[in-house]
Amino acid sequence: MTVTVRAGERSDSASRSGYLNDEEYATVDAWWRAANYLTVGQIYLMANPLLRESLTTQDIKPRLLGHWGTSPGLNLLWAHLNRAIVARDLNAIFVTGPGHGGPAIVANTWLEGTYSEVYPSISRDEAGMAKLFRQFSFPGGIPSHVAPEVPGSIHEGGELGYSLMHAYGAAFDNPDLVVACVVGDGEAETGPLSGSWLSNVFLSPITDGAVLPILHLNGYKIANPTVLSRIPDTDLMSMMHGFGYRPIEVSGDDPARVHHEMAQALDAALDDIAAIQQHARATGDGSRPRWPMIVLRTPKGWTGPREVDGVPVEGTFRAHQVPLAAVRENPAHLGMLEQWMRSYRPEELFGSFGVPDKSLDVLKPSGERRMSANPHTNGGQILRDLVLPDIEEHAAVVPQPGGSQIEAARQAGQWLREVMRANPDRFRLFAPDEANSNRLGAVLEVTDRVFTADIVPGDDHLAPQGRVVEVLSEHLCQGFLEGYLLTGRHGLLTSYEAFIHVVDSMVNQHAKWLKVTNGIPWRRPIASLTYLLSSHVWRQDHNGFSHQDPGFIDHVVNKKAAVVRVYLPPDANTLLSTLDHCLRSRQYLNVIVAGKQAAPNWLTMEQAKLHCRRGLGIWPWASNDAGSEPDVVLACAGDVPTMEVLAATEILRERLPQLKIRVVNVVDLMRLQPDSEHPHGLPDDQFDAIFTRDKPVVFAYHGYPWLIHRLTYRRANHSNLHVRGYKEEGTTTTPFDMVMLNDLDRFHLVIDVIDRVPGLSVSAATLRQEMVDARQRCRDHTRATGEDAPEIRNWKWPS
Ligand SMILES: Cc1ncc(C[n+]2csc(CCOP(=O)(O)OP(=O)(O)O)c2C)c(N)n1
Ligand SMILES: [Mg+2]
């Protein structure tokens, strides 16, 4: 079915005939007018909210900051969704793609009463309305966009492109939920949103809820027309059809007609959703249905000033922000604003006390059915802990340090399989096509990869329902997981270390969400977003330079200390302990970088747990400084650097037995910062006790060396800290050649010690020379044979 209303003359008179009966029509229109009025009021007014007197310049804010253009469309949709929620007792939430329409969403939440419930000082009357208006985009007030402060939102407005993926993430495993998602036609041009249409392939009509995308074709973005509004309508419809949707089109600028058509379209879409789900759930047919979507073509800035100073505004890009910009200076503009606001007939809507008229209550869903109060939008409220299997049962056996080898990620995969088994309704794994290659394939023993498109013989663990979501889009993985977490569930994202940078910007936004919600008492803590990056920089043997970049850690560390954690577990048991910790945590971004290749186990589970709890620590079995001050500290963070430090330690202890060496391993990178900078920071006295105040520290680090300097620059011993790490020397080569290329290898670490410990440069000159030669020999071996020298490949920590 395609519902189409072509642009007609605007008429404010209620239609006497049509899809809605007169009462329904009147209430939907009244809600829309009320929300539009409240939107304009927030943008412009700081007094006189009910227009009891004619507007004067004192009523107008000195700085007019907000977005009008998108708002009438958002208000129209909210009003109509409320009609459907009340009629159908629908469990629905609203995701606002054009989140710059903050005043519109705030207006609706105030009309619903939720705003006053969470912010009692903004009461649902004239006094509250005055404050509501004044606080918007005002110093000390609320942001201009749909922000965490807005009840009912799971989607921070601002950076466009992520609405649809958040909506799908919210719908996963919520079979009863309908997620209405407004997508701006400008937003639809972004890469992430363009990729999001595919999401329906990962949505089960049986075990998931529904997403109703509403493409808001108001024709413009900030300064340009939008692509999708200027291509032939048939092309747009074919495109949506091609993505698997059944587009229902509503188009027009006559409110009387659009209300009827909008109501009809929404009912058609919701009937369709109900029929799809009923069929799938009754028959068990989980294959991809053709989900409905709505294409809404209405003017940008609809019902606002048509023309300002002789220039058309309504229905153009000029309506994007504040259509009348000089209200304080220009009496004509002031008059137009008053006329505009009065066109909504506020006296009918808010009575004499500013309380929304009783007739509007018909459209106010009750309690938690209000989209502004739906518990799914405050996920922490409904969050249930994960059942986490005992990591002891999955411990790698470690007879002595380095006495066994294992692929840490594979071990983690086996534990995650049990997590998956124990939490069939609230834990998912997201991966851009890499769950298996990242060695987490064991999870597929208890679930499948969800995929509702065609499945052919030979496909591997693909099924219309499954808890592993694999789509080759880091954006979608991140967005799905965010939506899933924000609605009160748990998950894990595994990806290449280099390519997770694709979502840097999304990480910024989620980190901001967490930071802000930490300060909003009614927002309950949600599960942390945890990354497991096991295809890391040092082991891209078959890929090379394009796949090498450890800088995601640097990016994350920029964020507010209260919400970021970075872990570099050196072996399998420390990885398990770290994962166990991260999946219990709340309100963080956890980044775990750990290897997936076979590598030595250093710590028993008991030792690993203690080590992880401390975050960093001296490894006495590797050190020979017991009971005294060391001559040098060899520190390491990351699995590969840890191995190189231990191999260097072995050489040093054998060749320079008088040298007192302390080996320190760092799992929790944030421990390096002072406690004044990060909640995990180590107090100075403890840091000094471990790293000394004046001895050389040679630090082998997984990533870019500068980060370690950045984290430790305030420490007493910082001037003695010498960091080796990745310095952008990458290629397709052997693992040891890679570390040599970056001077992180054992031989170079020995050289670093000789160069930095006073008195060694002369006495250990021969050893130094041997180390230089060893590097050359090892390099020559790789060039001659294509693999690392046997003494490197077969190296073991001496028992
Ligand atoms: C990723 C990103 N790029 C640029 C912007 C700046 N910006 C804010 S609103 C907007 C236009 C949005 O147009 P559309 O999605 O059509 O929304 P509407 O017309 O409903 O206001 C732009 C480009 C942004 N917010 N996010
Ligand atoms: Mg637009």
Do 78 and 127 belong together in one domain? yes
Which residue among 221, 316, 505 has the greatest number of ligand 1 atoms within 8 angstroms of its CB, and so is best to mutate?
221
Do 563 and 513 belong together in one domain? yes
Task: Provide the Cα torsion 666, 670, 672, 674; round to 10°.
Answer: -150
Please give the backbone phi and psi of residue 294, each rounded to the nearest 5 degrees, phi first. Answer: -115, 135
Mean pLDDT of 344-356: 95
Last residue of a domain, one of 600, 630, 663: 600
Please give the backbone phi and psi of residue 156, each rounded to the nearest 5 degrees, phi first. Answer: -70, 125
- Let me know if residue 381 belongs to a domain: no
Q: pLDDT averaged over the chain?
A: 95
Specify the number of domains making up the chain.
Answer: 3
pLDDT value, residue 435? 85
Using the mean position of ligand 1's atoms as its centre, give its distance from the Cα of residue 98 in Å.
7
What is the distance between the alpha carbons of residues 545 and 737, in angstroms, rounded to a whole number? Answer: 13
Of all atoms in ligand 1, which is nearest to the CA of residue 320? 21
Lowest mean pLDDT across 531-545, 548-562, 691-705, 742-756: 531-545
- pLDDT category at 12 given cuts 50, 70, 90 is very low
Closest listed ligand to the CA of 218: 2
CB 554 within 8 A of CB 707: yes
- Let me know if residue 237 belongs to a domain: yes
Using the mean position of ligand 2's atoms as its centre, give its distance from the Cα of residue 224 in Å.
9
Last residue of a domain, one of 600, 628, 661: 600
Mean pLDDT of 346-367: 95
Do 200 and 52 belong together in one domain? yes
Using the mean position of ligand 1's atoms as its centre, give its distance from the Cα of residue 100 in Å.
8
Last residue of a domain, one of 551, 575, 600: 600
Do 354 and 459 belong together in one domain? no
- Let me know if residue 382 belongs to a domain: no
Domain span holding position 138 = 22-362
pLDDT value, residue 14? 41
Ligand 1 binding residues, C-beta < 6 A: 69-70, 98, 100, 158-161, 184-187, 190, 216, 218, 220-222, 226, 300, 320
pLDDT value, residue 437? 81
Do 593 and 625 belong together in one domain? no
Do 482 and 596 belong together in one domain? yes
Do 224 and 85 belong together in one domain? yes
Mean pLDDT of 40-49: 98
Mean pLDDT of 700-716: 97
Using the mean position of ligand 2's atoms as its centre, give its distance from the Cα of residue 217 in Å.
6
pLDDT value, residue 627? 87
Of all atoms in ligand 1, which is nearest to the CA of residue 221? 13
What is the distance between the alpha carbons of residues 96 and 104, in angstroms, rounded to a whole number? Answer: 10
Using the mean position of ligand 2's atoms as its centre, give its distance from the Cα of residue 32 in Å.
19
CA–CA distances in Å: residue 59 to residues 125, 140, 356, 621: 18, 18, 21, 74
Which residue among 160, 228, 300 has the greatest number of ligand 1 atoms within 8 angstroms of its CB, and so is best to mutate?
160
What is the distance between the alpha carbons of residues 161 and 192, in angstroms, rounded to a whole number? Answer: 5
- pLDDT category at 17 given cuts 50, 70, 90 is low
Do 235 and 107 belong together in one domain? yes
Do 560 and 698 belong together in one domain? no
| pLDDT surpassing 60 at residue 3 | no
pLDDT digits (tens, 9 = 90+) for 54-70: 999 999 999 999 999 99
| pLDDT surpassing 50 at residue 5 | no
Do 306 and 407 belong together in one domain? no
CATH number at residue 620: 3.40.50.920
Q: Which residues contact 631 (CB under 8 A, 6 or more apart)?
A: 625, 659, 660, 661, 695, 696, 757
Mean pLDDT of 541-552: 89
- pLDDT category at 16 given cuts 50, 70, 90 is very low
